[in-house]
Amino acid sequence: MSDPLQAPGRTKIAFLGTGLMGAPMARRLLGAGYAVSVWNRDPNKALPLQGDGAAIAASPREVIADAEIVFTMLTNGEAVGEVLFDSGCAEALKQGTVVVDTSSIAPNLARQHAARLRQKGITHLDAPVSGGVVGAESGTLAIMAGGEPDVVERLADVFAALGRVTHVGPSGAGQVCKLANQQIVAITIGAIAEAMVLVEAGGASREAFRTAIRGGFAESRILDLHGSRMIRRDFEPGGSSRNQLKDLDAVAALAEALSLNLPLTESVREAFNTFVVEGGGDKDHSALLLHLEKLNARSQ
């Protein structure tokens, strides 16, 4: 007999959090044929999914009723805890339900959530994603799953609608890998932004510079997407600078707990902190370029 969690149409999925990332992810699941109910704290962000076939719920408890898989894509660990536990969702979930938290939260919180749910007979995966809004819309997200490997395997077809899943270890490991991913993203954004400042100050074209190095050792997804944003000066958020800072703060906390010295991460964290404090929190994280431009304008 086939696993019902692999069968579109028969599997009931609840999706909590339909913001920039959650809405296109829920839409991908609907497009794959799954029955999806959605909830968002701001209902206006959930309503557009009704046209794609989603059922709109008025509360977290309502959306998870009879769900076999529950996805969460929320702002931070506090929001995940409030929705799962303070709202009564955990008590309302039926035994055997799989909770897949795709939010980016601290690894210790992910492990705590898994332990609390396990006591109620509910399985938990921490499965944060990378790829941004573009990846969510195109179904090409990189999904880092922490938890039991057999559960990840059971949900392989569900994850396939969203992108490429990799089991990276026990509970919390997904979040550790996401933090490491965010280190690379932030440092690379910083490196590209600094290069853009240097190129323009030296009299070259930023656009021509980016074109010239494409395909070389400096090639990356970040150079492709965020390098283009920097040239066009399009800083509408795909991933906000505030959320980037949140992740870097979590990296710093984990590094301290592990007695690690991560100087590159700390340097870019300080830059993002200054940028957010000075009002850039709601801009895309590629807008770190603006902070570096301002910094260099002061020094001239």
Query: Which sequence positions are flagged as catalytic?
Result: 178
Q: Answer yes or no: are the C-beta atoms of 84 and 78 closer than 8 Å.
A: no
Positive or negative: CA dihedral 140, 142, 147, 152: positive
| 147-156, Cβ contacts within 8 angstroms, sequence gap of 24 or more | 147/114, 147/123, 147/171, 147/174, 148/123, 151/98, 151/123, 151/125, 152/125, 154/3, 154/5, 154/6, 154/98, 155/5, 155/6, 155/69, 155/98, 155/100, 155/125, 156/6
Structure tokens at 173: 């490991």
Q: What are phi and psi of 64, to 5 degrees?
A: -90, 0
Q: State residue 13 phi and psi, 5-degree precision.
A: -115, 135
The span from the CA of 43 to the CA of 250, in Å, is: 29
Specify whether the CB–CB gap between 72 and 18 falls below 8 A: no
A 10 A CB-CB count for 160 gives 15
